[in-house]
């Protein structure tokens, strides 16, 4: 391709440390879709855990270095609705005291996309060939749904896969109970919320519970594995990349 779309990965700390296979899936998938992918290797975490717990000066320091790190990226793609929300919606406010940096943050925000939104809105929802097969159901991550107002892109992508049947999850828009440090501060409340989510997922008869956020995945797969469920929690990138993701 003459002028490939270029995208930098903001892979997120959870994917980097716990779910590298999601990052690998994303790279292979994007490359198959003709995207030129790079990975600024000094990235750490977007700072969302600091921000949500009220440590805003600290979050601003993380934001400052992330904004600089991605200053020259054409697009930034994030496999997580919450981290994309952080960059798009919170960075500009955190850095507003420095007008130049604030403006840079605004710019970064407008070039940053959650993965499904990137594929649909920037790449124009191309056909995706995957060898993934099965019945899946989709969980709306709170920040992607209510923070970025996105419920359709992931569903649209899943529906168009030939070997995949998408069944709606009752209460799909209800929180899984993760909430970052919430799940550590109030673990039993978090687990009680999760219980209903998993019961609903199992009732759909789906093989896979798909989400677009590694936080929700950590929570939901942790619960599924503990109860010995046959349902697996997977990231959208893994479904779209198929066996390419290992």
Site for another protein in 157-196 (CB under 8 A): 173-175, 177-194
User: Which positions from 36 to 65 touch another protein by CB under 8 A, shown as an x/- string?
Assistant: ---x-xxxxx-x-xxxxxxxx-xx-xx--x
Tokens 């490939």 sit at which residue?
Answer: 4
Among 129, 163, 226, 243, binds another protein (CB under 8 A): 226
Residue with tokens 């519970």: 209
Instruction: Tell the smallest beta-carbon distance from residue 162 to another protein (Å).
Output: 27
Rounded to 5 degrees, φ, ψ at 136 are -125, 160
The binder of another protein chosen from 4, 6, 20, 71 (CB under 8 A): 20
Contact 64, 102 (CB under 8 A): no
Q: Using the minimum distance from each CB to another protein, give the nearer residue, 161 or 219.
A: 219
Q: Which helix (H) or strand (E) holds 30?
A: helix 20-32
| Secondary element (H or E) of residue 166 | strand 164-167
Q: What secondary structure letter does DSSP report for 243?
A: G
Q: Looking up tokens 């994007």, which residue turns up?
A: 30
Name which of 164 and 214 has its Cβ closer to another protein: 214
Does residue 11 interact with another protein by CB under 8 A?
A: yes
Least separation in angstroms between CB 163 and another protein: 26
Contact present, 165 and 134 (Cβ < 8 Å): yes
List Cα–Cα distances, 30 to 34, 87, 196, 202, 231, in angstroms.
6, 21, 34, 31, 27
Using CB under 8 A as the binding rule, whether residue 133 contacts another protein is answered as no
3-state secondary structure of 72: coil
Cβ-based nearer residue to another protein, 117 or 164: 117
Q: From the CB of 118, what's the least distance to another protein, in Å?
A: 18
Closest among 214, 217, 245 to 231, alpha carbons compared: 217
Closest distance to another protein from the beta carbon of 105 (Å): 16
Residues near another protein (CB under 8 A):
11, 13, 15-21, 23-24, 27, 39, 41-45, 47, 49-56, 58-59, 61-62, 65, 142-143, 145-147, 173-175, 177-194, 218-219, 221-223, 225-226
């Amino acid at each position: 391709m003459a002028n490939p779309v270029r995208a930098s990965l903001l892979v997120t700390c959870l994917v980097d440390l716990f779910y590298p296979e999601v990052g690998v899936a994303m790279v292979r998938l994007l490359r198959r879709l003709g995207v030129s992918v790079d990975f600024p290797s000094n990235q750490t975490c977007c700072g969302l855990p600091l921000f949500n717990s009220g440590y805003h000066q600290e979050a601003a320091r993380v934001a400052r270095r992330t904004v600089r790190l991605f200053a020259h990226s054409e697009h930034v793609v994030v496999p997580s609705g919450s981290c994309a929300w952080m960059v798009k919606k919170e960075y500009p406010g955190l850095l507003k005291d420095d007008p130049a940096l604030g403006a840079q943050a605004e710019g970064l925000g407008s070039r940053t996309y959650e993965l499904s939104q990137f594929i649909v809105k920037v790449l124009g929802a191309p056909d995706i060939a995957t060898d993934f097969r099965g019945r899946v159901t989709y969980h709306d991550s709170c920040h992607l749904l209510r923070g970025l107002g996105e419920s359709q892109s992931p569903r649209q992508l899943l529906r168009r896969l030939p070997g995949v049947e998408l069944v709606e999850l009752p209460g799909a828009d209800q929180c899984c109970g993760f909430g970052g440090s919430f799940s550590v501060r109030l673990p039993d409340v978090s687990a009680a919320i999760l219980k209903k989510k998993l019961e609903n997922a199992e009732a759909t008869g789906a093989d896979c519970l798909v989400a677009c956020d590694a936080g929700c995945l950590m929570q939901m797969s942790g619960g599924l594995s503990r109860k010995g469920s046959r349902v697996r929690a997977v990231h959208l990138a893994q479904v779209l990349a198929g066996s390419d993701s290992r």
